[in-house]
Structure 1
Amino acid sequence: MNRNSPRVMVLLLSAFFFITCSKTEYLSSMGLQPDSLIEVGVWDDFSITKPVITDQEGIDMAGYWPDGKISVVKNGNSGKFTLYWGERYSIRTEGNTPFPEDHIQQVLPENRVFGKGINEIAGFSDGGAWFIGVHRLKDGRLAGFFHAESNWGGLTAYKSIGVAYSTDNGRTWSKGKKILSVNYEKPSNSRWSGLGDGCVVYHEKSGQFICYYSAHTTGKGGDYKICMAATKDPSGAPGTWKKWDGERFSNDGYDRESNTGGVDHEIAGLTARSGANPSVQWNDYLQKWVMVYAGWNNVIYMSASGDGIDWEQPKAITDAENETANYPNLISEFGDQKGGAVVKLYYGRNQNPLGKRQFAHRVIDYRKN
């Protein structure tokens, strides 16, 4: 008998089995799971627990956390997680989990690694620099995207977004350069202006970084709304970013010669609710991108997208009658870039007139009960 005969027989039997049964039965017989059998949750069908408050006593800037994005980077060698707490002084902590409650006692002045008084640049980041997404690049460096503020002597700020790099695992950083700006320079008179309060994710399928941020738009009911910009540069370098124009990424992110960027356009699906401070992650269980952001009505909203570009109408997930909520962050056992059936929502709760707030979290469960 020819040595290939058994192999031929297996192929013929496999083909016969595939023809005489369903695709599902065939794939199951081979130990594979067809897409139709993979459990996929529904983004707007979930349970959410009551808030748990984490004590801030004794830490740096106690009472002002969170104040934007909390970025998570996993160390591939040790398996430990590094968190970057976004404030005008960005703080670095290390631990065995990605969850902030396990890191918060390290939020101390000696762990400040970036921002005001460290890497500040006049007219750009003299008011502070908040990390809004930290990513490990293929060359081993870390890219730290940050929200920058420039003041007039008070708290009012002109905002923009930049990037800095680290070669020592986030302990020290380059000064940083601007990547996104509005289409006008810093005003001579003090007023809240510019763009920022965002997050940066890496989109594996399209091979690009996407920054979701808040900027004042001139569309229907002009207000500060969620916008986006993207780059396919592997390091997210300055001069490579393009803003969304309503149909594609074509408007300049930032032009160094003019010191301005292009016009900002809101994301169409999110126009019903203005706001800021988006936190975005890919969810393996839902097979969608999920975004939470803070509305100006002190409510946190959630939306979802199959491609990170077209977003569904947002749904309120907190209730202003019971609590005020802002600065949301989605973090799972994998970190801030990827989620699963269960994720944690961290946010600032019941902020008082002085800006102090509780550091709260809830557990979101997308599995059907």
Structure 2
Amino acid sequence: MLTIDRACRNCFYRVFRGRGEIGIVDEKDCKICFGLSGEIPRFVELAEEELKGYEFDTFSVGTKIDYEILEREDELRKTLNHNFKDIKTWLNRRIGEELERRIGKRYVHTGYDVNVIIDTRFDHVTLQVKPVYIYGRYLKLIRGIPQTKWPCRICGGIGCRRCGYTGKQYPESVEEIIAKRALELFEGDGEAFHGCGREDIDARMLGNGRPFVLEINNPRRRKVDLRRLEEEINRYADGKVRVLNLRYSDKEEVRRLKEEEFVKVYRARISSDREIDEGRLRESLSHLEGKIIKQKTPLRVSHRRANKVREKKIYGCKLIWVKGKEALIEIRAESGTYIKELVSGDEGRTKPSISEIMGSNCWVKELDVIAVEGD
């Protein structure tokens, strides 16, 4: 059974509720906290120094405490047969309240901008900074760039002669173009790009743009003029990418973008191995309207996607023009529909397809996404 005959004033009131024959001693001689109570000013100083250079409105405090102190408190709790506020919770609150007074920022327990973690064993402070989330829509105005960074297929991102030691399969991406100025203005350490689906590398994203959320990690700035950011991104993008309607967002919106399925509208320039009969093509497109098609994972992505059958609805099809062996069509389809395979049939892996209905080999020559509906 653990017995305590000496405690600092803080622990006397915290543990014994100010009652009992306990000798009040200096914090460094306390048999409960072993001096931690007296180190609060030091911990506050360390936290204040670490927070310099960060822009925030609210913060929380967490501590790491020597296991022996926590174990001793558990044993004391059993001996006294009554509960009391543990040293960790008490210390967090006292440090938080004093830090609030010193820096003029609000101390909270949830929904904070920064969580200050103080390792009391080594006088070390780390910061867990809440990311900044920015919602917007982007247009990809040229072909040949991916939505996100692709690691080099040869070196896996390490860097090799093939990729010019960049570690990347493609020199740039929509993600990198959008993120560069955002990282600079928010002074972040890294980012994550969350898109509402993605277009093929050789497809453009036009119309009203594709919704996305850019997540800025460990930002030292939280309040950036998003109108200015939008202008700077578009200037840097130099006609390759354009962003619209930037606003602040949150993690919940990332989840929503990933979970919701938005109807997409595509414009495809198709080719055939023979002259296209306009009437026959119109009939084929009409036949597809309202249909549920079945698509096995396309051959072109089978190396990185699970091999399964996906059922997708085709909401509408429209013929724009026919010129010899080429035509321009518009397709409104469920999210995740493989449009190239809807046209070609992908060696029978998509049924029905335009090639199958037409009775000729057709393929997509150019593809654009012209609308992402909803949101």
TM-score for the superposition, normalised by structure 1: 0.21
Q: Which has the higher strand share?
A: 1
Q: Which has the higher helix share?
A: 2
